[in-house]
Structure 1
Amino acid sequence: MTKVNFRVDPALHDALQRRAYGANLSLSAFIRQALEQAVDNRKRYVFSSQDEILATSIQILSILATSVGRRSPETLEQGMAQARTILAERGLLGEEEAQ
Protein backbone atom coordinates (compact mmCIF):
# COMPACT_ATOMS: atom_id res chain seq x y z
CA MET A 1 0.00 0.00 0.00
CA THR A 2 1.32 3.46 -0.90
CA LYS A 3 1.62 5.97 1.90
CA VAL A 4 0.29 9.50 1.31
CA ASN A 5 0.96 12.46 3.63
CA PHE A 6 -0.95 15.75 3.49
CA ARG A 7 -1.86 18.63 5.77
CA VAL A 8 -5.36 19.72 6.79
CA ASP A 9 -6.44 22.56 9.03
CA PRO A 10 -7.28 21.68 12.65
CA ALA A 11 -11.05 22.19 12.22
CA LEU A 12 -11.17 19.75 9.29
CA HIS A 13 -9.05 17.25 11.21
CA ASP A 14 -11.42 17.44 14.19
CA ALA A 15 -14.45 16.98 11.94
CA LEU A 16 -12.85 13.98 10.23
CA GLN A 17 -11.98 12.47 13.62
CA ARG A 18 -15.59 12.84 14.81
CA ARG A 19 -16.99 11.33 11.60
CA ALA A 20 -14.52 8.43 11.76
CA TYR A 21 -15.40 7.78 15.40
CA GLY A 22 -19.11 7.97 14.55
CA ALA A 23 -18.59 5.40 11.78
CA ASN A 24 -16.58 3.20 14.18
CA LEU A 25 -13.52 3.49 11.92
CA SER A 26 -9.96 4.61 12.41
CA LEU A 27 -9.22 8.01 10.90
CA SER A 28 -7.08 6.36 8.21
CA ALA A 29 -9.81 3.85 7.27
CA PHE A 30 -12.42 6.61 7.13
CA ILE A 31 -10.27 8.83 4.91
CA ARG A 32 -9.39 5.88 2.63
CA GLN A 33 -13.09 5.17 2.11
CA ALA A 34 -13.84 8.85 1.49
CA LEU A 35 -11.07 8.95 -1.12
CA GLU A 36 -12.39 5.76 -2.74
CA GLN A 37 -15.78 7.43 -3.04
CA ALA A 38 -14.20 10.47 -4.69
CA VAL A 39 -12.74 8.37 -7.51
CA ASP A 40 -15.59 5.85 -7.90
CA ASN A 41 -16.73 5.93 -11.53
CA ARG A 42 -20.24 4.83 -10.54
CA LYS A 43 -20.52 7.76 -8.06
CA ARG A 44 -21.94 5.46 -5.41
CA TYR A 45 -21.76 6.35 -1.76
CA VAL A 46 -19.20 4.23 0.12
CA PHE A 47 -21.30 3.88 3.27
CA SER A 48 -24.56 2.93 1.50
CA SER A 49 -25.12 -0.38 3.31
CA GLN A 50 -24.75 1.39 6.65
CA ASP A 51 -27.18 4.07 5.48
CA GLU A 52 -29.85 1.45 4.78
CA ILE A 53 -29.44 0.04 8.28
CA LEU A 54 -29.50 3.56 9.71
CA ALA A 55 -32.70 4.44 7.81
CA THR A 56 -34.45 1.33 9.10
CA SER A 57 -33.25 2.00 12.64
CA ILE A 58 -34.52 5.58 12.49
CA GLN A 59 -37.96 4.39 11.34
CA ILE A 60 -38.16 1.82 14.13
CA LEU A 61 -37.00 4.28 16.77
CA SER A 62 -39.46 6.90 15.54
CA ILE A 63 -42.35 4.49 15.98
CA LEU A 64 -41.06 3.49 19.42
CA ALA A 65 -40.59 7.13 20.50
CA THR A 66 -44.14 7.97 19.42
CA SER A 67 -45.52 5.06 21.43
CA VAL A 68 -43.44 5.85 24.54
CA GLY A 69 -44.25 9.56 24.27
CA ARG A 70 -47.97 8.86 24.37
CA ARG A 71 -47.63 6.64 27.43
CA SER A 72 -44.96 8.52 29.38
CA PRO A 73 -43.70 11.89 28.15
CA GLU A 74 -41.18 11.99 31.02
CA THR A 75 -39.62 8.69 29.96
CA LEU A 76 -39.38 9.93 26.38
CA GLU A 77 -37.66 13.15 27.49
CA GLN A 78 -35.15 11.16 29.58
CA GLY A 79 -34.41 8.86 26.66
CA MET A 80 -33.98 11.77 24.25
CA ALA A 81 -31.55 13.47 26.65
CA GLN A 82 -29.51 10.27 26.92
CA ALA A 83 -29.54 9.86 23.14
CA ARG A 84 -28.30 13.45 22.65
CA THR A 85 -25.46 12.80 25.09
CA ILE A 86 -24.40 9.62 23.29
CA LEU A 87 -24.65 11.25 19.85
CA ALA A 88 -22.63 14.26 21.03
CA GLU A 89 -19.92 11.98 22.46
CA ARG A 90 -19.61 10.27 19.06
CA GLY A 91 -19.46 13.58 17.21
CA LEU A 92 -22.79 13.04 15.47
CA LEU A 93 -24.40 16.31 16.57
CA GLY A 94 -23.47 19.83 15.63
CA GLU A 95 -22.19 22.06 18.43
CA GLU A 96 -25.52 23.90 18.80
CA GLU A 97 -27.46 20.59 18.97
CA ALA A 98 -25.15 19.07 21.59
CA GLN A 99 -25.87 21.75 24.19
Structure 2
Amino acid sequence: MVKINFRLDERLHERLHRRALGANLSVSAYVRRILEQALDERGRYVFSSQDEILATAIQILSIVATSVGQQSPKALEEGMAQARAILAERGLLGQEGGAR
Protein backbone atom coordinates (compact mmCIF):
# COMPACT_ATOMS: atom_id res chain seq x y z
CA MET A 1 0.00 0.00 0.00
CA VAL A 2 1.27 3.45 -0.92
CA LYS A 3 1.35 6.09 1.81
CA ILE A 4 0.38 9.69 0.98
CA ASN A 5 0.96 12.62 3.34
CA PHE A 6 -0.72 16.00 2.91
CA ARG A 7 -1.66 18.97 5.05
CA LEU A 8 -5.18 20.09 5.99
CA ASP A 9 -6.31 23.16 7.79
CA GLU A 10 -7.71 22.56 11.27
CA ARG A 11 -11.33 23.20 10.28
CA LEU A 12 -11.29 20.72 7.40
CA HIS A 13 -9.60 18.08 9.56
CA GLU A 14 -12.21 18.60 12.28
CA ARG A 15 -15.03 18.17 9.74
CA LEU A 16 -13.43 15.02 8.30
CA HIS A 17 -12.92 13.63 11.79
CA ARG A 18 -16.56 14.25 12.70
CA ARG A 19 -17.80 12.62 9.49
CA ALA A 20 -15.45 9.66 9.99
CA LEU A 21 -16.80 9.16 13.53
CA GLY A 22 -20.33 9.28 12.16
CA ALA A 23 -19.44 6.59 9.63
CA ASN A 24 -17.67 4.57 12.37
CA LEU A 25 -14.36 4.79 10.46
CA SER A 26 -10.90 6.18 11.10
CA VAL A 27 -10.10 9.41 9.25
CA SER A 28 -7.73 7.46 6.98
CA ALA A 29 -10.38 4.86 6.13
CA TYR A 30 -12.96 7.59 5.53
CA VAL A 31 -10.64 9.53 3.19
CA ARG A 32 -9.81 6.31 1.31
CA ARG A 33 -13.54 5.75 0.76
CA ILE A 34 -13.97 9.32 -0.46
CA LEU A 35 -11.12 8.82 -2.94
CA GLU A 36 -12.65 5.52 -4.07
CA GLN A 37 -15.92 7.33 -4.70
CA ALA A 38 -14.19 10.04 -6.72
CA LEU A 39 -12.54 7.40 -8.91
CA ASP A 40 -15.51 5.01 -9.26
CA GLU A 41 -16.22 4.67 -12.97
CA ARG A 42 -19.91 3.97 -12.35
CA GLY A 43 -20.30 7.11 -10.21
CA ARG A 44 -21.72 5.22 -7.24
CA TYR A 45 -21.81 6.86 -3.83
CA VAL A 46 -19.59 4.91 -1.43
CA PHE A 47 -21.77 5.46 1.66
CA SER A 48 -25.17 4.88 0.04
CA SER A 49 -26.08 1.84 2.14
CA GLN A 50 -25.33 3.74 5.34
CA ASP A 51 -27.37 6.71 4.11
CA GLU A 52 -30.34 4.46 3.36
CA ILE A 53 -30.16 2.96 6.85
CA LEU A 54 -29.87 6.45 8.35
CA ALA A 55 -32.88 7.71 6.38
CA THR A 56 -34.99 4.76 7.54
CA ALA A 57 -33.88 5.25 11.16
CA ILE A 58 -34.74 8.96 11.02
CA GLN A 59 -38.22 8.18 9.67
CA ILE A 60 -38.87 5.59 12.37
CA LEU A 61 -37.57 7.85 15.14
CA SER A 62 -39.67 10.74 13.87
CA ILE A 63 -42.81 8.61 14.09
CA VAL A 64 -41.89 7.39 17.59
CA ALA A 65 -41.04 10.92 18.77
CA THR A 66 -44.36 12.25 17.47
CA SER A 67 -46.26 9.50 19.27
CA VAL A 68 -44.32 9.91 22.54
CA GLY A 69 -44.67 13.70 22.35
CA GLN A 70 -48.44 13.41 22.05
CA GLN A 71 -48.68 11.03 25.01
CA SER A 72 -45.97 12.49 27.27
CA PRO A 73 -44.23 15.74 26.37
CA LYS A 74 -41.98 15.34 29.44
CA ALA A 75 -40.76 11.91 28.29
CA LEU A 76 -40.02 13.36 24.84
CA GLU A 77 -38.07 16.25 26.39
CA GLU A 78 -35.97 13.85 28.51
CA GLY A 79 -35.33 11.57 25.52
CA MET A 80 -34.24 14.51 23.37
CA ALA A 81 -31.83 15.67 26.11
CA GLN A 82 -30.30 12.18 26.23
CA ALA A 83 -30.04 12.10 22.43
CA ARG A 84 -28.27 15.49 22.38
CA ALA A 85 -25.78 14.23 24.99
CA ILE A 86 -25.00 11.13 22.89
CA LEU A 87 -24.65 13.20 19.71
CA ALA A 88 -22.36 15.66 21.49
CA GLU A 89 -20.12 12.80 22.68
CA ARG A 90 -19.71 11.68 19.05
CA GLY A 91 -19.07 15.20 17.78
CA LEU A 92 -22.28 15.24 15.75
CA LEU A 93 -23.74 18.51 17.03
CA GLY A 94 -23.12 21.86 15.41
CA GLN A 95 -21.63 24.70 17.40
CA GLU A 96 -25.08 26.05 18.26
CA GLY A 97 -25.96 22.70 19.86
CA GLY A 98 -28.41 21.56 17.18
CA ALA A 99 -28.08 18.32 15.24
CA ARG A 100 -26.15 18.52 11.97
Using the TM superposition, give the Cα deviation of residue 97 of structure 1 relative to its aligned residue in structure 2, in angstroms: 2.9
User: Whose relative contact order is higher, 1 or 2, with alpha carbons under 8 Å and at least 6 apart?
Assistant: 1
With normalisation by structure 1, the TM-score equals 0.91
Counterpart check, 1:94 vs 2:86 = no
Question: For residue 76 of structure 1, what is the aligned residue in structure 2?
Answer: 76
Three-state SS of the structure 2 residue aligned to 1:19 is helix
Q: Structure 1, unaligned stretches of length 5 or more?
A: none
Measured against aligned partners, the alpha-carbon deviations of 1:4-61 in whole angstroms (never above 9, x if no partner) come to: 1111111111111111111111111011001111112222211100111111111111
Distance in 1 separating the partners of 2:36 and 2:97: 30
More helix by share: 1
Q: How does 1:61-72 map to 2 (within 5 A)?
A: 61-72=61-72
| One-letter amino acid of the counterpart of residue 51, structure 2 | D
Distance in 2 separating the partners of 1:88 and 1:27: 18
Using the TM superposition, give the Cα deviation of residue 91 of structure 1 relative to its aligned residue in structure 2, in angstroms: 2.0
Distance in 2 separating the partners of 1:77 and 1:84: 11
Structure 1 runs, 4 residues or longer, greater than 4 Å off: none
Q: CA RMSD of the aligned region, Å? A: 1.5
Distance in 2 separating the partners of 1:42 and 1:89: 36
- What number of residue pairs does the alignment pair up? 99
Distance in 1 separating the partners of 2:70 and 2:22: 31
Identity in percent: 71
| One-letter amino acid of the counterpart of residue 62, structure 1 | S
Q: How does 1:1-99 map to 2 (within 5 A)?
A: 1-98=1-98
Using the TM superposition, give the Cα deviation of residue 86 of structure 1 relative to its aligned residue in structure 2, in angstroms: 1.2
Distance in 2 separating the partners of 1:41 and 1:92: 31
Using the TM superposition, give the Cα deviation of residue 94 of structure 1 relative to its aligned residue in structure 2, in angstroms: 1.4
| One-letter amino acid of the counterpart of residue 29, structure 1 | A
